[in-house]
Amino acid sequence: MNKATIEKKINKVLNRISEAALNYDRDPNTIKLMAVSKTKPPEDIIFAYESGARDFGENYLQEAQHKITTLSDLPITWHFIGPIQSNKTRPIAEVFDWVHSVDRLKIAQRLSDQRPLELGPLQVCLQVNVSNEASKSGATLEEAETLAVAIDALPNIVLRGLMAIPEPSDEFKAQRTAFLKVRNLFEQIQHRIPHMDTLSMGMSQDLEAAIAEGATIVRIGTDIFGTRDRGVQASNV
Ligand SMILES: *Cc1c(COP(=O)(O)O)cnc(C)c1O
């Protein structure tokens, strides 16, 4: 895609974020835009960067490693948002700033053990399976609190909050209901882990509903970079 198109799309997304913030009494400065660049070339990331984006989300390790190396001159914050196999934790811990898709203790332990000390702690979110679909990754709502406390106790990672990918819905009300569940769980866990400050939720189709329910990071792919030809949807759908 060309630069003018990406710039226009980013501005449109930023306007949607501001408008939703206004509608739901939120400070727009507390909502961060993550541009999800999976399957898109480094050139598109440069265009988005030049349009003001600083946070980028990637799902596939090999593809991400190539982009991160190519773009190492840019002060980009890289977020890993895809499913994690335990044999891939080392490179993830070595090149990413954030990991949003931690859903079991073993993965968190490996990330903590393998995080290079000179990089400082890895910022992580616990992914929760809010729609309880067997095919999706994410901790169950029931196990989330115990898991969060165990993850937060690890030395080289900081638990920043929760991430969720609800089942897609065209209904604004249904979208809000799913995000409200995540928010309630977040507030419950915050009693035990007060430094948690991140709700990573909201994609192209449901960012307004996510902001209405307290999202602090929205993850936007399609509405910035266009549709993905591989037919790749949210990582674990
Ligand atoms: C692909 C993906 C997104 C972006 O989804 P869009 O609908 O293209 O905005 C967000 N989060 C995760 C985890 C993804 O895999």
- Each residue of 56-79: pLDDT tens digit? 999 999 999 999 999 999 999 999
Question: Ligand 1, atom 1: nearest CA belongs to which residue?
Answer: 234
Do residues 144 and 162 touch, judged by C-beta distance below 8 A? yes
Q: Is the pLDDT of residue 236 over 50?
A: no
As for ligand 1, residues whose beta carbon falls within 6 Å of it are 36, 38, 59, 81, 165, 203-205, 219-223, 234-235
Please state the atom number of ligand 1 nearest to the C-alpha of residue 204: 9
Per-residue pLDDT at 235 exceeds 60: no
For residue 237, how far is its CA from the centre of ligand 1 (angstroms)? Answer: 10
pLDDT at 137: 86
pLDDT of residue 135 exceeding 90, the answer is no
For residues 176 and 211, is the Cβ–Cβ distance under 8 A?
Answer: no
pLDDT band at 28 (very low <50, low <70, confident <90, very high): very high
Return the C-alpha torsion angle 77, 78, 81, 83, nearest 10: -150
Assess if residue 233 is contained within a domain. no
Contact 138, 129 (CB under 8 A): yes
Where in the sequence is the domain holding 44, given as residue range(s)? Answer: 3-225
Taking residues 96-109, report their average pLDDT: 98
Please provide the DSSP assignment of 198-214 as one string: EEE---TTTHHHHHHTT
Cβ-contact 102, 85 below 8 angstroms: no
Counting from 1 in the atom list of ligand 1, the atom nearest the Cα of 100 is 13
| Atom in ligand 1 nearest the alpha carbon of residue 233 | 1
3-state secondary structure of 191: coil
Does pLDDT of 29 surpass 80? yes
Asked if residue 236 is part of any domain, the answer here is no
Q: Write down the pLDDT at residue 74.
A: 98
Q: For residue 132, name the pLDDT band (cuts at 50, 70, 90).
A: confident
Q: Which atom of ligand 1 is nearest to the CA of 36?
A: 4
- Domain for residue 230, yes or no? no
Residues 152-159: what's their mean pLDDT?
98
Query: Where residue 237 falls among pLDDT bands split at 50, 70, 90?
Result: very low
**CATH code of the domain covering residue 176:** 3.20.20.10
pLDDT given at position 34 = 99
Phi, psi at residue 160, to the nearest 5°?
A: -95, -20
Neighbours of 16 (CB within 10 A): 18
Between β-strands 122-128 and 98-102, what pairing exists: parallel, antiparallel or unpaired? Answer: parallel
**Tally of CA atoms within 13 A in the half-sphere of 81 that contains its CB:** 29
How far, in Å, is the centroid of ligand 1 from the Cα of 236?
10
Q: Tokens 């198109």 identify what position? A: 5
Kindly report, residue by residue over 83-95, the tens digit of the pLDDT: 999 999 999 999 9
| Domain contains 237 | no
Is 235 inside a domain boundary?
A: no
Within-domain flag for 231: no
Instruction: Tell how far the Cα of 135 is from the centroid of ligand 1, in angstroms.
Output: 17
Distance from residue 13's CA to the centre of ligand 1 (Å): 14
118 Cα–ligand 1 center, Å: 30
Asked if 203 and 215 touch (Cβ cutoff 8 Å), the reply is: no
52 falls within a domain: yes
**pLDDT at residue number 211:** 98
Report the pLDDT averaged over residues 128-151. Answer: 90
Q: For tokens 């999976």, name the residue.
A: 38
How far, in Å, is the centroid of ligand 1 from the Cα of 194? Answer: 28
Q: How far, in Å, is the centroid of ligand 1 from the Cα of 138?
A: 15
- The number of folded domains in the chain is 1
The reported pTM is 0.95
Please choose from 99, 203, 206, 235 the residue to mutate so as to test ligand 1's pocket, defined by most ligand atoms within 8 A of CB: 203
Mean pLDDT of the chain: 95
Q: What are the residue ranges of helices labelled H in the chain?
A: 3-23, 42-50, 61-70, 89-95, 105-114, 144-152, 172-190, 207-212, 222-225
Q: Is residue 234 assigned to a domain? A: no
Cβ atoms within 10 Å, residue 121: 14
- Per-residue tokens: 74: 């840019």
Q: Mean pLDDT, to the nearest integer, of 165-174?
A: 96
* Per-residue pLDDT, 231: 52
Helix pair angle (3-23, 42-50), 10° resolution? 60
